[in-house]
Amino acid sequence: MRTPLPSPNQASIQVDDSRRALDANGFRYLISMRSFYILNKRASEPGSPESRGATHRRTGWRERLRYRDIIWAFHSETQGLLMSASLAACQGKLTWNDARALGVFLWLNSVESMVRKGFCS
């Protein structure tokens, strides 16, 4: 059975509570991040085409967010909220690989906010 790809609506439903506090750029990044995790989760589930030997490109699995998605966070004025959302998406433990996949080092303007959120502990 084929699983449908996540729609922007499904990703935006998950971030609806944060929408009021985020600016437009932050909201776009958050939708991209949620879609990234939804696609990767579906691609790695048993019974997915990837688990039967298909290539990553055909299944939608990606190693990191696209630069066009990361740039939204760079221009966001609510990077503290984005850092909190990134941490939450990684179950509270943001590793170097997670940070690289989300492009944190490209968009985060303040190292102090990274330290405050517990990344460098």
Residues 72, 78, 80, 84, Cα dihedral to 10°: -70
Q: Give pLDDT, residue 21.
A: 83
90 Rama class: left (phi>0) / alpha (psi -120 to 50) / beta: alpha
pLDDT confidence of 19, banded at 50, 70, 90? low
Q: Give pLDDT, residue 1.
A: 45
Domain borders along the chain are 8-116
Q: Which tens digits make up the pLDDT trace of 26-64?
A: 999 999 999 898 888 888 777 655 555 555 445 567 889
How many angstroms separate the CA atoms of 59 and 75, rounded? 30
Assigned token pair, 64:
């990191």
Res. 115: pLDDT tops 80: no
Q: What is the mean pLDDT of residues 98-118?
A: 79
How many angstroms separate the CA atoms of 49 and 116, rounded? 40
pTM, full prediction: 0.69
Name which of 87, 88, 86, 5 is nearest 43 in CA terms: 5
How many angstroms separate the CA atoms of 117 and 112, rounded? 9
Q: What is the mean pLDDT of residues 102-114?
A: 82
Q: Give pLDDT, residue 48.
A: 57
